[in-house]
Structure 1
């Protein structure tokens, strides 16, 4: 009975998109008792079956707005559980410390040094492409894992090392994906999810999972991408920083788009904007989310509208983004222009689409990015529908495969 109650509590909570902390708060309110007699950890124990709610059961039911019978009813076997990030961890722990470690003692100074190198690699990715950065990124990641596994350190230093390994894995995975090394990128992302999970940094784990979901959605694994993007959002809950939740929802929107689910995609875009609007001076987002802002959400919105062929919405958004974008970020500039070229073609403006496409080709010529190379192929394929237009014909003849 306890397992059925726990499964029902979790299902009903997630249907309301509540975190465990939110359910604990609403349960406390339902009791009318001042203070916090029940917390998130208690809700977690109930949901996993480690503890029975007993006297709290009617108050939990009242908080969820259901009769007690809805919580005690047997769980329907046909309903699969929601995905969690635990489903995506490596089969074996790649971060298990070596037995009888004889490496040097690692102090907080080594963590600070690693943090600076991770940040430097992240800034380099703003202006350089994956093909340029893949080797130093992998070298740094191997070195950091070796430091954790072979060195001796306190539990707190070990936890902070795991956080830095997670952050390094996120950027290294992104770089590997940009270089077209998708299997390597997935291995790196899963390593990072393991590190962040062990460090109990759920925001970082969600960021890594979202990055892997994004790659899956873009490489023919749309179903897996959507499942993982939703797992990142579900595991983070409403306690995640607003900027992080906005990013998770953005990736859910893209995953729905790639899966051909238009209305859920548009709904997730709106929820992302709402999440970002909650940010204020008192909310602290991790430093690695410095790039997530209203402009980035606008980029994703324009891409979704391009993908679902709504150019009247996509074109103005993309033009606005491009007028404000840093031209030194060459790869992103080429990518955003590529979406504009497709949107213009969908708007039946082939001449202008060809002009923008030529800019994409020129900009990306010296960029070692598989992403931009793939976008060029997509543009040329789309413009073949207008091969009889002189400007398009000239573009196609000059860029024959």
Structure 2
């Protein structure tokens, strides 16, 4: 274990909500008490809600009066507010519901990493009461199997138990298709597993917790890949609860690494770094060599995006010292991680650190690998940025063009994210012939991109993936490994 600082205690929002709930007060009553005590009549419950969701943080004036009204030391609230400021403002890509889930996820992650054996996460299915992303109109769930060990299937689950082979098959689909195609399938798979969990008795519920955790993690991954940020956070929070309840520290760490990847992609590097560090600290010595290396790469990438170059380099060095995945010691859900993937992850972080020289040769093989369109598109975008940092405009445009075609093939809005940044960086060089050729290719490809991705590349404004309702074809035996989180 490398000497990372321990994760910070809880941020301000959860602390305020807990103190309010302990008194049995509503947000309206807290606002009224603050107005009466301070003599300022303009504070409303909406401001209390913003504080608890960490859309805003109170200044010293209101922190002092909160301490008086709630009867707690001022240092408690001031320290929590300072920690929240270090986590940064919730990015605009995360809506109101997602902001609440983000805060809850960060809080549970800290509690678990500080005491993995002592955390009681509550009912894993509490999150299913929240809205979930709709399945595509043409989506069908993967084929579940029969009950294990001759056990009768519960009636509420439709007479079927979750089938691990079906979940593995959905992961393999993710090797070839993007979240726009598969998010509905992941949501259906999660609902099927949740029905079986609810209908089972206490002993069978315990046995079903790992399946519930894996189904929720994959549903979160697919939703995130489809551009459904809140759906992704929702899946990861449920997965973390189920993994913690099952006592599976390795998978809980993996869930936090995937959630870190999501926050890093939507402009929340501080939150991403907190989750990645919690995942690495909590999984501890139980993590396999490959999982330790992956979690350290999550830490390095988030730190690089947050401008913490020293922490990023430290994590990269520690990841290199893990030695990579070891056959026979890695969990089945990490089948996609290999030396080539780890090299590409290193290259991506080096580009984020502004070190394109050593990054380009690490990224090039992943960007050119045949049969892996999303992986090629994702790393192709970072490779193009590396070329631009080196001042190589023509190679950057050539790589970005190939990555754009791979993004069309994969149907993944996330795969277009780095191409958006490439387009922005090329905006001032429109007189270059290579830039004009790339702009023409972009205009031709835009109708074939998912709507959210097309908006990011060539326009502005949100959109839902156009291809979410398409029923995916079953992949054959040539599936590549693009990574399922």
Is the CA contact (8 Å cut-off) linking 2:276 and 2:295 kept in structure 1? yes
Is the CA contact (8 Å cut-off) linking 1:83 and 1:227 kept in structure 2? no
In 1, Cα distance between the equivalents of 2:364 and 2:410?
22
In 1, Cα distance between the equivalents of 2:258 and 2:336?
14
How many residue pairs match? The answer is 317
In 2, Cα distance between the equivalents of 1:137 and 1:185?
11
Q: CA RMSD in A?
A: 3.1
In 2, Cα distance between the equivalents of 1:370 and 1:382?
19
Shift, 1:122, TM fit: 0.6
In 1, Cα distance between the equivalents of 2:192 and 2:365?
42
Shift, 1:15, TM fit: 5.0
Alignment of structure 1 residues 304-319 onto 2, 5 Å: 304-319=349-364
Give secondary structure in 1 for the equivalent of 2:426: helix
Give secondary structure in 2 for the equivalent of 1:343: helix
Determine the structure 2 residue equivalent to 1:134: 183
Aligned match of 1:174 in 200, 217, 221? Answer: 221
Shift, 1:354, TM fit: 1.1
Aligned match of 2:238 in 191, 196, 199? Answer: 191
Determine the structure 1 residue equivalent to 2:125: 95
Is the CA contact (8 Å cut-off) linking 2:162 and 2:196 kept in structure 1? no
What's the TM-score once normalised by structure 1's chain length? 0.71
Is the CA contact (8 Å cut-off) linking 2:124 and 2:242 kept in structure 1? no
Shift, 1:14, TM fit: 8.8
Is the CA contact (8 Å cut-off) linking 2:176 and 2:410 kept in structure 1? no
Unpaired runs of 5+ residues, structure 2, are 7-74, 84-105, 113-118, 127-145, 154-159, 444-457, 459-485
Shift, 1:333, TM fit: 1.0
Is the CA contact (8 Å cut-off) linking 1:83 and 1:231 kept in structure 2? no
Give secondary structure in 2 for the equivalent of 1:399: helix
Is the CA contact (8 Å cut-off) linking 2:217 and 2:236 kept in structure 1? yes
In 2, Cα distance between the equivalents of 1:366 and 1:180?
17
In 2, Cα distance between the equivalents of 1:280 and 1:87?
30
Q: 1:342 to 1:16 in 2, by over 3 A?
A: closer
Aligned match of 2:438 in 380, 383, 395? Answer: 395
**More helix per residue: 1 or 2?**
1
What's the TM-score once normalised by structure 2's chain length? 0.60
Alignment of structure 1 residues 49-60 onto 2, 5 Å: none
Determine the structure 1 residue equivalent to 2:134: none
Determine the structure 2 residue equivalent to 1:334: 377
Give secondary structure in 2 for the equivalent of 1:276: coil
In 1, Cα distance between the equivalents of 2:388 and 2:168?
39
Shift, 1:375, TM fit: 2.3
Determine the structure 2 residue equivalent to 1:370: 413
Are 2:312 and 1:298 equivalent residues in the alignment? no
Q: 1:84 to 1:145 in 2, by over 3 A?
A: closer
1:85-114 deviation per Cα after TM superposition (whole angstroms, max 9, x unaligned): 264899863437xxxxxxxx9645679852
**Structure possessing the higher relative contact order (Cα contacts under 8 Å, 6 or more residues apart):** 2
Give secondary structure in 1 for the equivalent of 2:125: coil
Is the CA contact (8 Å cut-off) linking 2:225 and 2:412 kept in structure 1? yes
Is the CA contact (8 Å cut-off) linking 2:120 and 2:245 kept in structure 1? no
Aligned match of 1:349 in 380, 384, 392? Answer: 392
Q: 1:143 to 1:386 in 2, by over 3 A?
A: same
Are 2:109 and 1:85 equivalent residues in the alignment? yes
Determine the structure 2 residue equivalent to 1:263: 310
Is the CA contact (8 Å cut-off) linking 1:276 and 1:294 kept in structure 2? no
In 2, Cα distance between the equivalents of 1:320 and 1:168?
31
